[in-house]
Amino acid sequence: MRAAKPTRAVTPLRRGFVWAALAALAFGVTTPLVARFGAGVATWTAAGCLYLGGALFAAAAHRDPREAVRGLRARWPVLVAIGVVGGALAPAAYVFGLRAAGPLAASLALNMETPFSVALAALAFREHVGRRVVVAMLAIVAGACALSVRAGGGAALDAGVLLVVAATALWALDNALSSRAQDLDPRVTVFWKSVFGAAFSFAAAALLRETPGPPAALGALIAVGALGYGASLVLYLTAQRTFGVARTASVFAIAPFVGAIGALVLGDNHIDALGIAAFALMLLGVVLHATERHRHTHRHESLVHEHAHRHDDLHHDHAHAEPVDGEHTHAHAHGALVHAHDHAPDVHHAHEHHEQDHEH
């Protein structure tokens, strides 16, 4: 066995937090923008435009069609599933709900993706969720509850909000399914998810004989999709691969807050004392994540696999014929290794946890 060399590289927890926070910002701004630009666009057409933008972004960001084809061959059942669930059904429910509930209430309802994702991560995929993550999640959700009370009181749970909640459940399932393809480059996953999602949405629009809407609005929705469904999803999957499903979902819970702020700026409502309290609670949750550490002695068995990786993460120290910087993909071998370092439930750290394995 070999011992790991000390490093000053940014820990996976910190790196994953940054990716998740950036994904949340990119997605959060889309809710008021979709409400504004999509007002005159048919529902399934709007959903298709959003993921067409995502596909265009992923294709521009990753210009290797051969890897995209290899990724589809290796993971086509999962990619089709997330395309249908997260790329067609979820955005359609979201657009329907957004129009009925309004951008502020819809933004707040998006917080329900956090408990759905954490529950799936813990129950279905046995992902370790420590006390700190639970407290952070509860703080963010409590902030969302405070904003919901401020926004609409008991009347907030109307059909529009329930449709947005249904969309968050579908997106949470999409996130869990996407974690099964975490060995793929996130840009490949986003490309195929967006392609399948856009294709199914446009097919539904054609079957329902929707009238698309003004070309300028369609173009605006495609641009919004490139940011909120392309760039944001690439960042999200990058975070999920290094940060885990539960942690990524919990940090991503600031996205609805960003959307609510955008709705307020566009005149949907006003801020009050409960809104300030909500900001404080969400800030507490974000800080808890940013300062999280999870460290204990763990064992890696020998294996050979292929996935996107870096050489500054204590696990990939193999040699290349020519120097390689940054993230890259190829088949590589790992020897047996026992060590202790800050880590998250990524492709190399799906091990069981015991009572003595703690976070601090």
Identify which has the larger pLDDT, 31 or 182.
Answer: 31
**Rg over CA atoms, the chain:** 21
Indicate whether 254 belongs to any domain: yes
Q: What are phi and psi of 309, to 5 degrees?
A: -155, 170
pLDDT mean over 328-344: 64
**Two tokens at 285?**
């949750």
| Contacts of residue 306, Cβ cutoff 8 Å, sequence gap at least 6 | 183, 329, 330, 331, 332
Indicate whether 188 belongs to any domain: yes
Lowest-pLDDT choice from 48-57, 121-130, 317-326, 335-344: 335-344
Indicate whether 41 belongs to any domain: yes
Domain count, the chain: 1
**Two tokens at 1?**
């066995």
Indicate whether 320 belongs to any domain: no
Q: For residue 178, name the pLDDT band (cuts at 50, 70, 90).
A: confident
Average pLDDT score, the chain: 78
Range(s) of the domain holding residue 65: 13-290
Q: What is the pTM of this model?
A: 0.70
Examine the pLDDT at 103 and tell me if it is beyond 70. yes
What are the tens digits of pLDDT across the range 212-266? 889 999 999 999 999 999 999 999 888 877 777 767 877 887 888 788 788 877 7
What are residue 332's DSSP bridge partners? 305
**Two tokens at 246?**
């539960």
User: Is residue 67 a contact partner of residue 186, using CB atoms and an 8 Å limit?
Assistant: no
d(CA 72, CA 56): 17
Indicate whether 340 belongs to any domain: no
Q: Which residue, among 314, 301, 295, 313, has the nearest Cα to 359 in the 3D structure?
A: 295
pLDDT of residue 111: 77
pLDDT of residue 312: 59
What are residue 295's DSSP bridge partners? 342
What are residue 169's DSSP bridge partners? none
Examine the pLDDT at 10 and tell me if it is beyond 60. no
Q: For residue 90, name the pLDDT band (cuts at 50, 70, 90).
A: very high
pLDDT of residue 7: 45
Burial degree of 67 (CB within 10 A; 0-12, 13-18, 19+): middle
d(CA 77, CA 71): 11
213 phi-psi bin (left φ>0, alpha ψ -120 to 50, beta other): left
Measure the CA dihedral 291/174/217/22, to 10°: 10
| Contacts of residue 21, Cβ cutoff 8 Å, sequence gap at least 6 | 251, 254, 286
pLDDT of residue 316: 63
Per DSSP, the residues of 312-348 read SSSS-----SS---S-EEEEEEE--EEEEEE--SSTT
pLDDT of residue 47: 93
pLDDT mean over 140-151: 68
Indicate whether 354 belongs to any domain: no
Burial degree of 316 (CB within 10 A; 0-12, 13-18, 19+): middle
User: Is residue 343 a contact partner of residue 239, using CB atoms and an 8 Å limit?
Assistant: no
Per DSSP bridges, beta strands 328-334 and 303-309 are antiparallel
User: Is residue 190 a contact partner of residue 74, using CB atoms and an 8 Å limit?
Assistant: no
d(CA 321, CA 344): 30
Indicate whether 355 belongs to any domain: no
Indicate whether 315 belongs to any domain: no
What is the 8-class DSSP label of residue 303? E
pLDDT of residue 341: 53
pLDDT of residue 4: 46
Q: For residue 194, name the pLDDT band (cuts at 50, 70, 90).
A: very high
Q: For residue 100, name the pLDDT band (cuts at 50, 70, 90).
A: confident
pLDDT of residue 107: 82
Element (H, E) at 299: strand 295-300
